[in-house]
Structure 1
Amino acid sequence: MVLAAGHDEASRELLTRPLGDATVVELAVATVRRVVDADRIVVVIAAGDTRLPALLGDDLTYVEQHEPLGTGEAARAAAAAVGRDVERVLVAYGDTPLLRPDSLRGLLNRHELKGADLSLLTAVVDATPEGYGRVVREDARIVAIAEPGDDVTPGPVPTGDGAVEINVGAYVAAPGLLFDELDAMAAAGEHRLTDLVRRVIARGKQITSHQIHDTDEVQGINTPAELAVAADIVLKRLFVPTKNTDTKIVFGTGGWRAVIGEGYTLANVRRLSQAIANETMRQGLEAKGVVIGGDRRFLSRDSAIAAAEVFAGNNIPVTLLPDDVPTPLVTFAAPYLGAAYGIIVTSSHNPPEWNGIKVFRQDGSLPLDDETDRYQDEANAMSVEDVITLDIDLARRAGVVTERTLTAPYVDAIEQIIDVDAVRGADLRVVVDPMYGTSQLTLGTILSDMRVPAEFIHEAHNPLFGGVAPAPDLQRLSTLIGMIREGAGRYGLGLATDGDSDRIGIVDETGEYVSSNDLLLLLYWYLHEVRGEKGGVVRNLATTHLLDRLAAHFGEESLEVKVGFKHVTAGMEKIGAVLGGESSGGLTIRGWILGKDGIFACALVVEMLARTGRTISELRTTIHEITGRLHTLEAGVPSTPEMRIAVPRRLEAEPLTHIGPYPVVSVSHLDGTKILLENDNWALLRFSGTEPVLRMFVEADSPEKATELLDWLRGFVTAGV
């Protein structure tokens, strides 16, 4: 039973107030629904109350409490509706909506295993919240519940000196015991459920408890102030990394990613595949089939086969790419084969315990948010029985699944755009770090065709990626940098790609790491001035504003978009841009695939050096003479749930006029919060869409000012959290 009659009109009105996406009472009842079937739930309401039945639905049983005498009398009103033929009764409250289902399950389980007569939820807190009784123990046994004003000294609590153990207000008892005692209490003029505990103890019955350790669950709602506190808790829970109790599929900016064994399971791969198969059939595209591949991560091959079995089970032909493949090859394969979708099993640059899936449309572009929302929502609503599969061996024999290698067509397509002949004879030697990923076959073939001697490091199949996340940034390319520096002029360039080969990192001939921001400047200049490819440039909002300066110098348009390469390619189409990129190493050019491609980018950099006859460091000097210099820094901190709430709230409550001594020109909320200063200086706060991280980016006139801005951001996001 759920007690929701309230003690007055104000308390009843609070039950109907919004809390997150529902009302207070709806959340409380939703928790009970996850533990008890709806047809076994009795809700006690005030006499004549029509609001709660309208909110909660007609699949519950409602009984009225005619006089607001107390919680005991409210529970007694449900006696006839509950009956005495059930084994046990769970009593919960409509004004404690933050209880978790696992807490109620724990209470029920402990009651059963201990053979208790009465069981209750408790919590250990620093101070007794208003309205809660204290648990009194002797020799660890519960002997009483002390309400405010009672002259009882509680005994020692299970944990913590100076802490207080409280009665949370949920009970389990046999109906005979419960209602017999409630009748006796009514006759004696006692109307509090806590009096029930005292009477049961006096009869020598066994009482046990289940302790809640998340004290946020204790938050009751009896005042507007308590409702505001509860609202913050609900928001905080949205950002707590989920464990075994929640394995939903959630798309971020780069597909669906999750920790293997938690959210990432073969069951979820199959459910998502079924949702995409359903969408394929709704669009009438099943005859086009799908192309599926996987990278080198744990479970990637098994996942690709599991996905293939689902599409085959739905009569959708599958081209299954053998072995491990780069993500851009699948991006290329969808339009090359005319497939309805391209699917790659990868978690890109995430740490090795992660895996995920990226989905590409017929033209090789990433689906936008409304599309991925449909996939994930449909998949999450499915049960295992909703998934249709066909065994892979049978699917192969039937010809529904065929294996095909597309490395040669992909390489040929790159070499139709890259001037391979111009590179031959350029006397360029390179070192390549694929970071244990998937680029060595394709990139190695291209470099060989260019007659460029290449030494590969970290090319073995190692799903642990050497113990680091395979992201081609300064901190993870020390071996590559060291080889070039120790080579004393032997190498003209260092190239790196991330785990699924859609991002690039480069090191110049001196062993200096070249930021992706500078690389984009170099390539935009090269495409426009050397290759004669006119057009604007698109960057995400975390990427250098020097691109805008260079575009203005060329008389071309520049466009800023949200993070996520799907927004970059959409922006390129909008303005006819020649280049689109992001500071994290992703880029593509007009006429190539509608996704980022680290392999193509590496080939383009090699062509640039060969055709200009200049080194990276020489080219950077040329570009900076045009654009001037700006200095970028970035950092990330774990995005705690508290931070997810506090940072946006403080930004909203305290409109920024200055960052330190620097005046704010404007603030953009396109994606996160971007604070624009004078002279193309800026600072960005943005919660990652793929990892539980708050990212901070700055760009400033000097390294010292960039450090100053980044320090200010760090202080801002951690203050008061």
Structure 2
Amino acid sequence: MSWQDTLKKWTSFATLDEKLLDQLKKVADNEKELEDSFYKNLSFGTGGMRGILGPGTNRMNIYTVRKAVEGLSIYIEENVAHAKERGVAIAYDSRYMSKEFAVEAAKVFGAHGIRSYVFESLRPTPLLSFAVRYLHAATGIMITASHNPPEYNGFKVYNEDGGQVPLKEAAAIIDRVNQIDNELEIVVKEQIELENSGLLEWIGEKVDRAYLHALKTIQKQDNNDNDLTIVFTPLHGTAHDLVMQGLEQVGFDKVHVVREQAKPDPEFSTVSSPNPEEHQAFEMAIDLGREVNADILIGTDPDADRLGIAVKNDNGDYQVLTGNQLGTLLLDYTLSCLDEQERKNGQLIKTIVTTEMGRAVASYYGVHTIDTLTGFKFIGEKIKQFETSDERFLFGYEESYGYLIGSFVRDKDAVQAAIAACEMANSWKKQGKTLLQALNTLYAKHGYYLEGMKSLTLKGKDGAEQIEKIMENIRENPFTTLGGLRVQAVEDYQSSLRKRLVEDLTEDILLPKENVMKFILEDEAWVCFRPSGTEPKIKSYFGVKTTSAEASERLLRTIQKEVEQRINQIVNENMLI
């Protein structure tokens, strides 16, 4: 069916949602917008389903949500034991339509006789992961678009272990979804009917209390005697209550919240992007930090699975740490608090685009490192595997500000990370050091690792094609040198092959197939290219290691510039075709 036929199907549907119909009427003369809205179906990617809000099969709306949940319902009925009795956990964040989508999901599940446990108000993503395990649910849904712009929403699907569905499960769910012919005619039950029959149960405080109790298990030291001053911003999202309660229960009481960013706001009106990866998100926290002379600033993204922090540098100014830097500090602190027996058979799990400094720190403590593909669901998958082996999960992280300490959650958890970061800052403060000084201590011990990431957004159908062309070009014409360093190995995760150029050897990559290319250079440098599975982006990741901060910065800039020039050349050539 052409996009025009699909559009006609929607506009002629007698009971089409009035708001969506009005939106279609407003863009009736914008053929490019209509094509982009209907030329394909919004599908699951590396983080679930995510898209721009609005009418169309390529947009987030009640009908695309219903279709996805219908497919998920069929999948769990076929593959998860006692799915109807165990039910589904559903949570949502502060975005437009989040609660509405949560209820729509429950209405589809209810039509299948599957009970839904829906939080009565917004909650963080890690709490949804915890709730799936705590309630022994068959699956879970988190309605969120994480830190994307306000016009986006989406949802992440979780399996019965509380982790995001891995590739095999996701493929099976997608297959069920794709078998559904008409998203407009999916059967749903009304909310009041579900509530009266017990197929929709509103939950909240009981799960919160259980999570906070579990949170105590990651505490490493007694923090009651502390002089740490903290500034916290939830960036208009879901983290406020649990972070504040978590800090209080482990002994931190000098916590100042950025008032303007404390309340949920789907517009994220005080920031250009509600992403702790972006330094502008900390501007208000920095102002408050200066006012109260804070030791640490902590910020969570809207669904509270990512944490960013800022600490004072030698000039007294606040410096935002990268995800790699904070992750490495948390890793070192966590392992330093364990004795040799507790570290026995211990495992660090990180992604292929996360700093290699983590491997060096883990090795120092006698802990093994496991690499996974990008996406925390792969880390959650590994933790599950440890349940049937003698391996022990000690820490997991990725460069994009995601961390996990306690495995009672199977996704990245900014609440855990916030508590641990403050405890770590307090410990270093007692030793007379800021976290930045602590980081420099680690650099002196392990080497000056430095990483970077460049993201190119190319929206619409044309943008998706451009991203495919970039990956094709890099795959067919691989780099041989970058920054004056020779390429020693090329890893193609789509073919699952690693070519070691120096030894002239080819090896299998024992990870799932994914459209990713990684180049291993001399002197422990590397570059990796990865299209996003949920956004119209291609990301380029970089890592270097030298003997000084200045040398690492110079080398990183050089490599980034060469890669940027190559990508721009590819884009420009394809625009002329």
Q: TM-score, normalised by structure 1?
A: 0.64
* 1:531 and 2:338 aligned: yes
Match of 1:448 in 2: 248
Decide whether aligned partners of structure 1 residues 536 and 706 sit closer, same or farther in structure 2, where only a CA change above 3 A counts: same
Q: Which moved more, 1:611-620 or 1:302-311?
A: 611-620
Query: Is 1:414 equivalent to 2:215 in the alignment?
Result: yes
| TM-score, length of structure 2 as denominator length | 0.80
Indicate which of 269, 272, 289 corresponds to 1:468. 272
Residue of structure 1 in register with 2:400 after alignment: 584
User: Structure 1 241/478 Cα, relative in aligned 2: closer, same or farther at 3 Å?
Assistant: farther
CA contact under 8 A between 2:543 and 2:556: conserved in structure 1?
yes
Amino acid across the alignment from 1:713: V
- Matching residue within 628, 635, 658 for 2:481: 658
Q: Identity of aligned pairs, percent?
A: 23
Letter in structure 1 aligned against 2:375: G
Alignment check: 8 A CA contact 2:404 2:413 kept? yes
Report the AA paired with residue 377 of structure 2: K
Task: Name the amino acid aligned to 2:529.
Answer: L
Shift of 1:278: 1.5
Provide closer, same or farther for how the CA distance between residues 696 and 655 of structure 1 changes in structure 2, counting only shifts above 3 A.
Answer: closer
Alpha-carbon distance, 1:324 to partner:
0.7
Which of 507, 521, 525 pairs up with 2:328? 521
Does the aligned pair in 2 maintain the 1:273–1:311 contact within 8 Å?
yes
Counterpart of 1:718 in structure 2 is 568
1:594 to 379, 398, 410: 410
Q: Following TM superposition, by how much is the alpha carbon of 1:566 offset from its aligned partner in structure 2, in angstroms?
A: 1.0
Unaligned runs of 5+ in 2: 9-30, 494-513, 547-551
Which residue of structure 2 lines up, in the alignment, with residue 556 of structure 1?
A: 367
Partner of 1:634: 453
The RMSD of aligned alpha carbons is 2.5
User: 1:501 aligns to what?
Assistant: 304
C-alpha distance 699-401 of structure 1, shift in aligned 2 (>3 A): same
- Deviation, 1:603, is 0.6
Mean Cα deviation higher: 600-609 or 294-303: 600-609
Aligned partners of 2:98 and 2:144 also within 8 Å:
yes
Question: Aligned pair 1:252/2:96, yes or no?
Answer: no
AA aligned to 1:576 is: R
Deviation at 1:484? 5.9
- How do residues 229-628 of structure 1 correspond to structure 2 at under 5 angstroms? 243-246=36-39, 248-261=41-54, 262=56, 263-283=59-79, 284=81, 285-382=83-180, 383-384=182-183, 387-405=186-204, 406-419=207-220, 422-449=222-249, 450-457=251-258, 458-466=261-269, 468-480=272-284, 482-483=286-287, 486-487=290-291, 490-510=293-313, 511-532=318-339, 533-534=342-343, 535-572=346-383, 573=385, 576-612=392-428, 613=430, 614-628=433-447
Q: Is the 8 A contact 1:326 1:500 kept in 2?
A: yes
In the alignment, the residues of structure 1 paired with residue 40 and residue 219 of structure 2 have an alpha-carbon distance, to the nearest angstrom, of 44
How many aligned residue pairs are there?
Answer: 490
Q: In structure 1, what is the equivalent of residue 18 of structure 2?
A: none
SS in 2 for 1:258: strand
Aligned partners of 1:484 and 1:494 also within 8 Å: no
Q: Report 1:163-182 matches (<5 A).
A: none
SS in 2 for 1:578: strand
In structure 2, relative to structure 1, the CA distance for the partners of 1:713 and 1:241 (3 Å cut) is farther
Deviation of residue 625 (structure 1)? 2.3
Alpha-carbon distance in 2 for matches of 1:628, 1:611? 23
Task: Give the secondary structure class of the aligned counterpart of 1:324.
Answer: coil
| Partner Cα separation in structure 2 for residue 490 and residue 620 of structure 1 | 21
**Residue 590 of structure 1, CA deviation:** 4.9
For 1:596, what is the secondary structure of its paired residue? coil
User: How many angstroms does 1:335 deviate by?
Assistant: 0.6
Letter in 2 for 1:687: P
Q: Which has the higher contact order (CA 8 A, sep 6+)?
A: 2
Is residue 433–residue 496 contact of structure 1 (8 Å, CA) maintained in 2?
yes
What is the DSSP-based 3-state SS (H/G/I as helix, E as strand, rest coil) of the residue aligned with 1:559? strand
User: Does residue 668 of the first structure (1) align with residue 488 of the second (2)?
Assistant: no
Amino acid at match of 1:345: I
* Structure 1 residues 103 and 345, CA gap change in structure 2 (3 angstroms): closer
Counterpart CA distance in 2 for 1:251 and 1:385 is 19
Could you tell me which residue of structure 1 aligns to residue 469 of structure 2? 646
The answer to whether the 8 A contact 2:63-2:184 is kept is no
Which amino acid is 1:580 matched to?
A: G
The CA distance in 2 between the partners of 1:621 and 1:364, in whole Å, is 36
What is the DSSP-based 3-state SS (H/G/I as helix, E as strand, rest coil) of the residue aligned with 2:264?
A: coil
State how far apart, in whole Å, the 2-side matches of 1:373 and 1:241 are. 28
